[in-house]
Amino acid sequence: MKFEFLYGFIPVPVFFTNLEFLYNPGTIGRSFGVFIVIKPKYEFDDVILQHELIHCKQFISSFGINGIRYLVNPNYRMLAELEAYQTLYDAPGIKEFKLKLITRLLFNNYNLEMDKTYIFEKVKDYYIMKMVTF
Protein backbone atom coordinates (compact mmCIF):
# COMPACT_ATOMS: atom_id res chain seq x y z
CA MET A 1 0.00 0.00 0.00
CA LYS A 2 1.09 3.53 -0.67
CA PHE A 3 -0.36 7.01 -0.78
CA GLU A 4 -0.69 9.30 -3.77
CA PHE A 5 -1.68 12.94 -3.32
CA LEU A 6 -4.33 14.62 -5.49
CA TYR A 7 -3.66 18.29 -6.14
CA GLY A 8 -0.58 17.76 -3.98
CA PHE A 9 -2.44 17.42 -0.69
CA ILE A 10 -5.46 15.06 -0.80
CA PRO A 11 -4.21 11.59 0.22
CA VAL A 12 -5.42 8.66 -1.89
CA PRO A 13 -4.53 5.19 -0.58
CA VAL A 14 -3.46 2.77 -3.30
CA PHE A 15 -3.81 -0.92 -2.41
CA PHE A 16 -2.09 -3.66 -4.41
CA THR A 17 -4.28 -6.75 -4.26
CA ASN A 18 -5.46 -9.71 -6.32
CA LEU A 19 -8.90 -9.85 -4.64
CA GLU A 20 -10.93 -10.42 -7.81
CA PHE A 21 -14.27 -9.19 -6.45
CA LEU A 22 -12.82 -5.67 -6.24
CA TYR A 23 -12.28 -5.50 -9.99
CA ASN A 24 -14.54 -5.39 -13.00
CA PRO A 25 -13.92 -8.40 -15.27
CA GLY A 26 -10.89 -7.91 -17.48
CA THR A 27 -9.53 -4.89 -15.61
CA ILE A 28 -6.30 -4.47 -13.64
CA GLY A 29 -7.14 -1.40 -11.59
CA ARG A 30 -10.16 0.35 -10.11
CA SER A 31 -10.91 3.64 -8.45
CA PHE A 32 -13.41 3.75 -5.63
CA GLY A 33 -13.33 7.55 -5.60
CA VAL A 34 -11.27 7.97 -2.45
CA PHE A 35 -9.01 4.94 -2.84
CA ILE A 36 -7.59 2.79 -5.59
CA VAL A 37 -6.90 -0.91 -6.05
CA ILE A 38 -4.34 -2.20 -8.55
CA LYS A 39 -3.23 -5.77 -9.21
CA PRO A 40 0.24 -6.34 -7.69
CA LYS A 41 1.67 -7.30 -11.08
CA TYR A 42 1.05 -3.67 -12.17
CA GLU A 43 2.42 -1.99 -9.03
CA PHE A 44 5.01 -0.05 -11.03
CA ASP A 45 2.82 0.70 -14.04
CA ASP A 46 2.42 4.46 -13.94
CA VAL A 47 -0.15 4.51 -16.78
CA ILE A 48 -2.70 2.50 -14.79
CA LEU A 49 -1.99 4.49 -11.61
CA GLN A 50 -2.47 7.82 -13.40
CA HIS A 51 -5.66 6.46 -15.05
CA GLU A 52 -7.18 5.61 -11.67
CA LEU A 53 -6.05 8.91 -10.14
CA ILE A 54 -8.00 10.75 -12.85
CA HIS A 55 -11.10 8.83 -11.73
CA CYS A 56 -10.41 9.97 -8.15
CA LYS A 57 -10.16 13.58 -9.38
CA GLN A 58 -13.48 13.13 -11.23
CA PHE A 59 -15.02 11.84 -8.01
CA ILE A 60 -13.64 14.50 -5.69
CA SER A 61 -14.18 17.44 -8.05
CA SER A 62 -17.85 16.44 -8.48
CA PHE A 63 -18.34 15.70 -4.75
CA GLY A 64 -19.13 12.09 -5.68
CA ILE A 65 -21.91 12.92 -8.16
CA ASN A 66 -19.84 11.46 -10.99
CA GLY A 67 -20.04 8.03 -9.33
CA ILE A 68 -23.79 7.91 -9.92
CA ARG A 69 -23.54 9.35 -13.43
CA TYR A 70 -20.82 6.81 -14.22
CA LEU A 71 -23.06 3.92 -13.19
CA VAL A 72 -26.27 5.01 -14.93
CA ASN A 73 -25.15 6.89 -18.04
CA PRO A 74 -23.09 5.03 -20.71
CA ASN A 75 -22.25 8.29 -22.51
CA TYR A 76 -20.88 9.79 -19.32
CA ARG A 77 -19.05 6.53 -18.55
CA MET A 78 -17.36 6.67 -21.96
CA LEU A 79 -16.41 10.32 -21.47
CA ALA A 80 -14.96 9.61 -18.00
CA GLU A 81 -12.94 6.73 -19.45
CA LEU A 82 -11.74 8.76 -22.43
CA GLU A 83 -10.44 11.36 -20.00
CA ALA A 84 -8.75 8.66 -17.90
CA TYR A 85 -7.28 6.87 -20.94
CA GLN A 86 -5.55 10.12 -21.96
CA THR A 87 -2.56 8.82 -19.96
CA LEU A 88 -2.43 5.71 -22.15
CA TYR A 89 -2.87 7.71 -25.34
CA ASP A 90 -0.04 10.09 -24.29
CA ALA A 91 2.34 7.25 -23.33
CA PRO A 92 5.08 6.38 -25.82
CA GLY A 93 3.88 4.26 -28.71
CA ILE A 94 2.15 4.34 -32.07
CA LYS A 95 -0.96 6.54 -31.85
CA GLU A 96 -2.97 4.51 -34.36
CA PHE A 97 -2.39 1.42 -32.22
CA LYS A 98 -3.45 3.35 -29.08
CA LEU A 99 -6.69 4.45 -30.73
CA LYS A 100 -7.54 0.84 -31.54
CA LEU A 101 -6.44 -0.42 -28.11
CA ILE A 102 -8.55 2.17 -26.25
CA THR A 103 -11.51 1.36 -28.51
CA ARG A 104 -11.13 -2.34 -27.72
CA LEU A 105 -10.83 -1.67 -23.97
CA LEU A 106 -13.91 0.56 -24.00
CA PHE A 107 -15.87 -1.95 -26.08
CA ASN A 108 -14.93 -4.98 -23.96
CA ASN A 109 -14.81 -3.70 -20.37
CA TYR A 110 -17.33 -0.91 -19.74
CA ASN A 111 -20.73 -2.27 -20.71
CA LEU A 112 -21.30 0.71 -23.02
CA GLU A 113 -23.75 -1.18 -25.26
CA MET A 114 -22.42 0.75 -28.24
CA ASP A 115 -21.24 -0.40 -31.63
CA LYS A 116 -17.44 -0.80 -31.84
CA THR A 117 -17.27 1.39 -34.96
CA TYR A 118 -19.19 4.13 -33.14
CA ILE A 119 -16.79 3.91 -30.16
CA PHE A 120 -13.79 4.12 -32.51
CA GLU A 121 -15.23 7.31 -34.06
CA LYS A 122 -15.70 8.83 -30.58
CA VAL A 123 -12.16 7.81 -29.57
CA LYS A 124 -10.74 9.51 -32.68
CA ASP A 125 -12.92 12.59 -32.11
CA TYR A 126 -11.70 12.85 -28.52
CA TYR A 127 -7.95 12.32 -28.96
CA ILE A 128 -7.32 13.60 -32.49
CA MET A 129 -10.00 16.21 -33.11
CA LYS A 130 -10.24 17.20 -29.41
CA MET A 131 -14.00 17.08 -29.88
CA VAL A 132 -16.51 15.82 -27.33
CA THR A 133 -19.78 15.05 -29.09
CA PHE A 134 -22.20 12.89 -27.16
Q: Does 79 bind Zn ion (CB under 5 A)?
A: no
Nearer to Zn ion, 47 or 120 (CB): 47
Q: For residues 74 and 118, is the Cβ–Cβ distance under 8 A? A: no
Candidates 78, 84, 106, 119; binder of Zn ion (CB under 5 A) is: 84
Q: For residues 84 and 51, is the Cβ–Cβ distance under 8 A? A: yes
Q: Which of the stretches 83-91, 100-108, 111-119, 123-131 binds Zn ion when contact is defined by CB under 5 A?
A: 83-91
Strands 10-16 and 36-38, bridge-based pairing: parallel
Nearer to Zn ion, 26 or 92 (CB): 26
Q: Tell me the site size for Zn ion, rule CB under 5 A.
A: 2
Strands 10-16 and 29-31, bridge-based pairing: unpaired
CA distance 131 to 105: 20
Q: Please report how close the Cβ of residue 7 comes to Zn ion at its closest, in angstroms.
A: 19
Q: Which residues bind Zn ion (CB under 5 A)?
A: 81, 84
